[in-house]
Structure 1
Amino acid sequence: MTRTRTAVVVGGGIAGPVAALALRRAGIEAAVHESHTATADGIGGGLGVAPNGRAALDLVGLGRVGAPMNAIVLQNHKGRTITEIRQPMEFSWRADLYRRLYDLALSEGVAVHHGHELVDVRESATGVRAVFADGTTSEEADVLIGADGLRSTVRRLIDPRAPQPRYSGLLGFGARVEGAGLPPTGDRMYMAFGRRAFFGYQSFDDGTGVWFANLPHPYLTWQQVRQTSNEQWLHRLGEAFAGDTVPALDLLRRTPPEDLLAVGPMEDLPHVPHWHRGRAVLVGDSAHATSPSSGQGVSLAAESAVELARALRDLPYPQAFATYEHARRARVERVIAQGARSNTGKTAGPVGRVVRDALLPLFARLATPEKMAWQYDHRIRWEDPVAA
């Protein structure tokens, strides 16, 4: 069987450009097809890139992505520090990371097409054809890679019975604040378990800041969340943090309604049974979406994109897909499970809060660099040959 020479990448968010860049480094021509008609400039809130993700992004040529965030300080609703966890990360705005990846992909010769909504995948003995919604556009390649996120069309085409995302019980909100009014927190992000919601914040030397909130709430779709005005959501968040001795209320007051980012439901995909079928394969959130609480979404997507490119570089696509899944599944599902446990602590009731606050210092003592090495020290050895 001949080696893979061309690939169609469906999805132009974060995982798609990383996959295309890694494929090009592996000697495989890749084009990205995005359903939205415009770029995602200015869209999205803050995110963390872990050392393992940083290493994967290095392999596709992306330099430093953000500001150091080397510790998380956990507090209770009274503002008392429960524990501090040393956790080396980089903080970045999603829009900044997206733009840097987009520009890097273009500079490396990756074609990026907008307004291409995938509706079907058709295979032949010699390749695969991606069919788009306009009815006149399609593209052929040796393989097709689904990097189209949590509600992946490629996942549904691979397996019509594929699971739907699982709701954590939390809605996500956040904002960038131009005048945070707080002393700089240095390389620390503060996270507070409020009595009715969870709040995180970091302030920078230039006076700006970022905050996010996880609000326990019955399930709403993103569209349903948007039916409530930003002014109303800011009011509800203010009610949730009333009486808590953390900077939540002040930062909420400093947030113009138009700057509020309503992320919507926080969801994950604990287990996707089928990552590939025929010449199509999944990567990133389409295969292994983890809750934002894990802090590993971007990092796992970058790892998987690079690992898939390595496998396609060295193996025919059937063996490459199987080897890639075998290398990734156990790791990503372990991280997803850890993120789900974090969400459980954010939705604890009155009794659960007491137990949680009592156990968090113990957890911090157990979360030593040695214990967390499996997560943060993971490195992909690009030059090593991949064996089936």
Structure 2
Amino acid sequence: MTTSLTRALIIGGGIAGAVTAMALQKAGIEAEIYEAYPAGADDVGAFLIVFANGLAALRLIDAHGPVVANSFPAHRVTFIGERGEDLGERRLAGTERGTELGPRTLRRATLNHVLHAEAARRGISMRHGKRLIGAESVPSAHGRRVVAAFADGSTAEGDILIGADGLHSVTRGLIDPAAPRPRYTGRITVCGYTRDATAAPAPDAYTMIFGKRAFFGCTRAPDGEVWWFASVPGPERDRTGPAAVPPGAWRQRLTALLAGDGTPAAALVRATADDRITAAHSYDIASTPAWHTDTMVVIGDAAHAAAPNAAQGASMAIEDGIVLATCLRDRPDARSAFAAYDGLRRERVEKLVAASAGMARPTSVDAAGRPARRSPAERGGAGAGNWLTGYRIAW
């Protein structure tokens, strides 16, 4: 079966947008990316993991090589309690030694850069400074098309519009004005990098520390730099968010939260320069009832944002782009393709959102009334479970 679709407008130039454009090109559909932010406006602070399921999906469109080349592996995770006690170790789910399949760690900005470069190498256009403000479905000789309107007064027309525009998606609201808004989880993720650590974590591993008042994780890059993150409770601020707080304030707050523990976490934060620390609110969207109309569809965080606990956001966005491209290639029209995509993806991603939220919740309290620490087996953790990392797409 051959699709009648020839041109897609992709809103959002992040991970989902770039991957979807390359997958559509392989499926024989032209795609152009429209990004709201100017060129070079990356999230420079955060880092992430791409797991085996994400890398396997990238391999289907021959885009995994640059990601592997610009990242480093971790094959195990060790757990430490608040007093510094050893809570055990296990292999990270999806690890396949001797292969290119994950987990791979890299900065979000690096992942965006290598995917953009690969898309550009393939002749895919990305137009910056194009903030979507509206879209409408219009009749055409072959059914319906979509016209997108941008804040600068310009418009674009295509067979379909794909909203890869993230957590605060404009496309989601155009599809369904009553769509649920992102839910603040009550926690803030703080990331940092230091070369001055006196107690560096073991190589080829993530060290996870269950502190009394904050959860802390770290790993060591091949050049010796320690990459760390912390999950701390805090109120939701406005959209300028935690990043608007002076970095020095985050270092002081984290050090205070971690200083009472018998772990190296506080020392790692203390050794980090103020300008090497960044922070972001943690949100999720449990379920978005309507993912599509006859000409528009949402993917990635625009459809199903998950809290960062499972570390699967990037991999899920990659999977979405590949699956959507196969559906558009194999169905005669957009409506049937979007319905097939919904049917293939919804159960999996909503299960992931629920699982990731559950990883942050304690199951009981101890005698002093504090949240009881669950065991690593109970908590799961980054990429836990073969249903997540063992997933493969048939192109």
Which TM-score applies when normalising by structure 1?
0.91
The separation in 1 between residues aligned to 2:21 and 2:389, in whole angstroms, is 24
Distance 1:261 1:319, change over 3 A: same
Q: Using a 3 Å threshold, how does the CA distance of structure 1 residues 319 and 83 change in structure 2: closer, same or farther?
A: same
Distance in 1 (CA, whole Å) between partners of 2:149 and 2:122 is 25
Which of 219, 226, 237 is matched with 1:220 structurally?
237
**Do the aligned residues in 2 keep the contact of 1:72 with 1:189 (CA within 8 Å)?**
yes
Alpha-carbon distance between aligned partners in 2 of 1:187 and 1:356, rounded to the nearest angstrom: 25
Deviation at 1:184, TM superposition (A): 5.1
- d(CA) in 1 for partners of 2:316, 2:252: 35
Q: Percent identity at matched positions?
A: 38
**Root mean square deviation, CA, Å:** 2.2
* Residue 91 (structure 1) aligns with: 105
Match of 2:115 in 1: 101
Instruction: Say if 2:131 is the partner of 1:131.
Output: no
Q: Give how far 1:362 is off.
A: 4.8
Cross-structure match for 1:238 = 255
In 1, Cα distance between equivalents of 2:377 and 2:309: 19
Residue 381 of structure 1 corresponds to which residue in structure 2?
A: 394
Task: Say yes or no: does 1:70 pair with 2:78.
Answer: no
CA contact (8 A) 2:72 2:221 kept: no
Q: For 2:240 and 2:352, how far apart are their aligned partners in 1?
A: 28
Question: Are 2:336 and 1:322 equivalent residues in the alignment?
Answer: no
How far off its partner does 1:226 sit?
Answer: 3.6
Aligned to 2:100: none
Residues 295, 353 of structure 1: CA spacing in aligned structure 2 closer, same or farther, 3 A cutoff? Answer: farther
- Tell me the equivalent position of 2:224: 207
User: Which of 289, 311, 315 lines up with 1:299 in the alignment?
Assistant: 315
Q: 1:300 to 1:362 in 2, by over 3 A?
A: closer
Preserved contact between residue 8 and residue 144 of structure 1 (Cα < 8 Å):
yes
Q: How many Å apart are 1:353 and its aligned residue? A: 5.5
* Counterparts in 2 of 1:76 and 1:221: CA distance versus 1, 3 Å: farther
| Partners of 1:184 and 1:205 within 8 A in 2 | no
Aligned to 2:58: 57
Give the Cα separation in 2 of the matches to 1:346 and 1:41.
37
Aligned runs of 1:4-153 on 2, under 5 Å?
Answer: 4-41=5-42, 43-62=44-63, 63=65, 64=68, 66-87=71-92, 88=95, 89-126=103-140, 127-135=145-153, 137-153=154-170
Structure 1 segment 213-362 matched on structure 2, within 5 A: 213-263=230-280, 265-315=281-331, 316-345=333-362, 355-357=372-374, 360-362=375-377
Deviates more, 1:250-259 or 1:292-301: 250-259
| Contact 2:247–2:275 under 8 Å retained in 1 | yes
SS in 1 for 2:360: helix
Structure 2 unaligned segments of length 5 or more: list them.
Answer: 96-102
Q: How far apart are residue 345 of structure 1 and its match?
A: 3.6
Task: Kindly tell me the number of residue pairs found equivalent between the two proteins.
Answer: 375
Letter in structure 1 aligned against 2:386: A
Supply the distance in 2 between the matched residues of 1:108 and 1:118 (Cα, whole angstroms): 25
Amino acid across the alignment from 1:210: W
- Map Cα deviations across residues 129-180 of structure 1 (whole Å, 9 max, x no partner): 1110111x11111000000000000001101111111111111111122333
Evaluate the alpha carbon distance shift between residue 347 and residue 260 of structure 1 in structure 2; reply closer, same or farther with a 3 A threshold: farther
Residue 235 of structure 1 deviates from its aligned partner by 0.7
Aligned equivalents of 1:186 and 1:275: distance in 2?
41
Aligned mates of 1:372, 1:225 — CA distance in 2:
31
TM-score under structure 2 length normalisation: 0.90
Structure 1, residues 176-210: CA drift from partner, whole Å, max 9, x if none?
22333334522210111110111111123422110
Moved over 6 A (4+): 346-350
Contact residue 83 and residue 262 of structure 2 kept, 8 A = yes
Contact 2:5/2:29 (<8 A) preserved: yes
Counterparts of 2:242 and 2:18, CA distance in 1 = 29
Gaps of 5+ in 1: 383-388
SS in 2 for 1:206: coil
Q: Once structures 1 and 2 are overlaid, which stretch shifts more, 4-13 or 210-219? A: 210-219
